[in-house]
Structure 1
Amino acid sequence: MKKLITNLASTLAVATGVAAITLVLYAWDLPPFRSDVQTTDNAYVRGSVTLISPQLSGYIVDVPVKDYQAVKAGQMLARLDDRIYRQKADQAKAALAAQEAALVNSNQQQRSAEAKIGSSEASVESAQYGLRRATENWNRVEALAKKGVMAESDREQGRTTLDQAEAAVKQAKAQLEVARQDLQGIIVGRDSLKAAVDGARATVELAEIDLANTRITAPRDGVVGEVGVKLGQYVGAGTQLMAVVPEGTWIIANFKETQLSRIHVGQPVTISVDALDHRELSGHVERFSPAAGSEFSIIKPDNATGNFTKVAQRVPIRISIDPGQEQAKYLSPGLSVVVRTVVEEDTTAAAMAAVEHKG
């Protein structure tokens, strides 16, 4: 009896060991359970879900769309109270008009300064003529005074006239220089006025952009998700109002790292969709993630401390859905699917492609 019990215990231990080894081989997809067909149920439909948020703050005055409504690109989804932004745009336009008027006035001042320069040049020329007459008269007076036929008072009068003529020339030249400097100041000041006009014009454009942004529109054709904003609600810049889901989906399948050697870009796959009564669609492997999914998580695993248990990592693979399939239009982002690779006849070429991809 004792021997029988011992034999049963030994048999049970051997069976348990074989079962454990078999389970490990199956879990790690090792021979004899290794298969060229790779399957994962860790796969989901993905799409370009666009979250809609305002760039401005304000009260919502209109929400013309409803939950799950189809919209076109540019169609208004919501509108902010635009009274303040409209007044800012008008204020910016008035400031621009004032700066443009100042620039026009500067042009008029330049023409006036140029006319003053012409007048000053004529004054210099006239003063030089007066100096020439005074010089000639002084020469005659000086000659007569030397001969004693000219009274001393007349000689002094002639000298005074000459000095006044010389002073008049200097004054005329000084006025000409002042006129030229005034013109230069106007020209230099115009650059500042032009910059002010450009700044005012930019302010107008910014105000008009803000005014346009009070209308929140669809960036592309699609279907609106759940509308989370209500009429009269105050929202800030960046507040999530709703989402727009455009057409076009793909699959992200997370395969174990031990399965990657038998998967390559371009390999056909079948996609079983839970939401469509497990109907199958066809697709192709489009590209591999550059890193395991754990590398993109917010809290990364720390394998450098404590006891370690090796866990097979999963690598996301993007799978495109083949066109021309009627059921594909019913796929929505977030749905779960089961992905299974298709065995190709040229397995050698598939293996070489997989090695080349990993290289």
Structure 2
Amino acid sequence: MKTLLPIVIAALLMSACTPGPEHALGTLERDRITLPAPVSERIAEIAVREGQTVATGDTLLVLEPERTGARLDAARAEAARLRAARDEAQAGPRSESIAEARARVRGAEGVALNARRDFERVRQVVERRVLPAADLDRARANLAAADADAQAAREALALLEHGTRGEQIVQAEAALAAAEANVTALQVDLARTRITAPRAGQVDSLPFEVGDQVPVGTPLAVLLVGDKPYARVYVPQPLRASVRVGTAATVHLQGTDASYPGHVRAIRSEPSFTPYYALAGEDASRLSWLAEIELDAGADSLPVGIPVRAEFAAPQP
């Protein structure tokens, strides 16, 4: 028993002297905005350089606008055609067209009247057995055809006199609306061939050169924005219970004596790296949670990427 006592005491002293994690490590970061390519065009101009400060609305890159401009011209022409078709449908048939249809009705009715008289004459002659019955059949067929032509002419006139149906006007208006929407979309695409800064910030990355052909959605530029940087740190498991949104923190710049007060503005609910359900026992101490610490003052001009160490205030009882 006396032999085991020194070993137990030594083990307790070592466990008491083993320091637990009292800080979180990370880097200084700024909010990033990625500007994707709105259309698949070649880069015609790059107006800025990496590291340059830009204001809202400043031109960053210019894409070749010719193809988008041609599509816009074609869309405008199609919209003009459909607008004229809509106006024609709303106006209805011209008076000259109606007059022409009435003349066709009179002509068809005259032909039908002549065919009826021929039929009566042939019928009388056939009844006296001067002509064969086949002549009467031909006269009857000619009369039916003439009557049908006259009826068709009258229906065509009625169609013109009643004007365009309401459903046709609705269809014409819908087609025009779709064409005008396409024009608006292409106008936006053409305007966006000039890539501008949506917010004031600093150009962090320009991954392409003039002349490069970029697919739609490919990042053309990355901006660092925001009035000041923030610390993005990984909170170890022993500190996680005491760190929450609003917790006061002190951020130290690695390798210097500079430190900045701040507070936690966000912390992830899920741990990083190894999934939590794959860890047990002592392995649980390897878990870490990504957190963001907003610096209160004095950090406006600090560059991003600097390693930092964050210490958190003790939780209030």
In structure 2, the residue matched to 1:148 is none
After the TM superposition, which residues 126-205 of structure 1 pair with which residues of structure 2 at under 5 Å, given as runs? 175=154, 179=158, 183=162, 185-205=164-184
CA RMSD for the aligned pairs? 3.6
Instruction: Answer yes or no: is 1:283 the counterpart of 2:262.
Output: yes
Aligned match for 1:95, one of 78, 98, 121: 78
Give the secondary structure class of the aligned counterpart of 2:181.
Answer: helix
Give the secondary structure class of the aligned counterpart of 2:263.
Answer: strand
Once residues 257 and 231 of structure 1 are traced to their aligned partners in structure 2, the CA distance between those partners, rounded to angstroms, is 48
Once residues 211 and 204 of structure 1 are traced to their aligned partners in structure 2, the CA distance between those partners, rounded to angstroms, is 10
Between structure 1 and structure 2, the one with the greater Rg is 1
Once residues 249 and 303 of structure 2 are traced to their aligned partners in structure 1, the CA distance between those partners, rounded to angstroms, is 19
In structure 2, the residue matched to 1:153 is none
**Which 5+ residue runs of structure 1 have no aligned equivalent?**
1-6, 30-38, 124-170, 352-359
The structural deviation recorded for 1:57 is: 0.8
Aligned match for 1:332, one of 303, 309, 313: 303
Q: For the Cα contact (< 8 Å) 1:51–1:244, is it kept in 2?
A: yes
Once residues 94 and 166 of structure 2 are traced to their aligned partners in structure 1, the CA distance between those partners, rounded to angstroms, is 11
The structural deviation recorded for 1:202 is: 1.3
Change (3 A) 1:101 1:261: closer
One-letter code aligned to 1:213: R
Once residues 260 and 187 of structure 1 are traced to their aligned partners in structure 2, the CA distance between those partners, rounded to angstroms, is 69
One-letter code aligned to 1:179: A
TM-score w.r.t. the length of structure 1 is: 0.63
Once residues 234 and 169 of structure 2 are traced to their aligned partners in structure 1, the CA distance between those partners, rounded to angstroms, is 66
Aligned match for 1:40, one of 9, 19, 23: 23
In structure 2, the residue matched to 1:316 is 290
Aligned residues: 270
One-letter code aligned to 1:330: S
Once residues 198 and 207 of structure 2 are traced to their aligned partners in structure 1, the CA distance between those partners, rounded to angstroms, is 18
TM-score w.r.t. the length of structure 2 is: 0.71
Once residues 334 and 216 of structure 1 are traced to their aligned partners in structure 2, the CA distance between those partners, rounded to angstroms, is 26
In structure 2, the residue matched to 1:342 is 313
Give every structure 1 segment of 4 or more consecutive aligned residues whose post-TM-superposition deviation is greater than 6 Å: 9-12, 113-116
Q: Which has the higher helix share?
A: 1
Give the secondary structure class of the aligned counterpart of 1:237.
Answer: coil
The structural deviation recorded for 1:92 is: 0.8
The structural deviation recorded for 1:273 is: 1.6
In structure 2, the residue matched to 1:17 is 11
Once residues 337 and 288 of structure 1 are traced to their aligned partners in structure 2, the CA distance between those partners, rounded to angstroms, is 17
1:158-202: CA deviation from partner (whole Å, max 9, x where unpaired): xxxxxxxxxxxxx89x94895257635443322221111112111
One-letter code aligned to 1:310: D
Q: For the Cα contact (< 8 Å) 1:40–1:253, is it kept in 2?
A: no
In structure 2, the residue matched to 1:221 is 200
Change (3 A) 1:115 1:194: same
Change (3 A) 1:241 1:176: closer
Q: Which has the higher strand share?
A: 2
Q: For the Cα contact (< 8 Å) 2:24–2:310, is it kept in 1?
A: yes
Once residues 244 and 65 of structure 2 are traced to their aligned partners in structure 1, the CA distance between those partners, rounded to angstroms, is 54
Instruction: Answer yes or no: is 1:84 the counterpart of 2:59.
Output: no
Change (3 A) 1:204 1:111: same
Aligned match for 1:58, one of 36, 41, 45: 41
In structure 1, the residue matched to 2:278 is 303
The structural deviation recorded for 1:242 is: 2.4
Instruction: Answer yes or no: is 1:207 the counterpart of 2:186.
Output: yes
Report sequence identity in percent.
20
**Which 5+ residue runs of structure 2 have no aligned equivalent?**
107-149
Once residues 277 and 242 of structure 2 are traced to their aligned partners in structure 1, the CA distance between those partners, rounded to angstroms, is 29
Change (3 A) 1:262 1:193: closer
Once residues 54 and 184 of structure 2 are traced to their aligned partners in structure 1, the CA distance between those partners, rounded to angstroms, is 28
Q: For the Cα contact (< 8 Å) 2:27–2:305, is it kept in 1?
A: yes
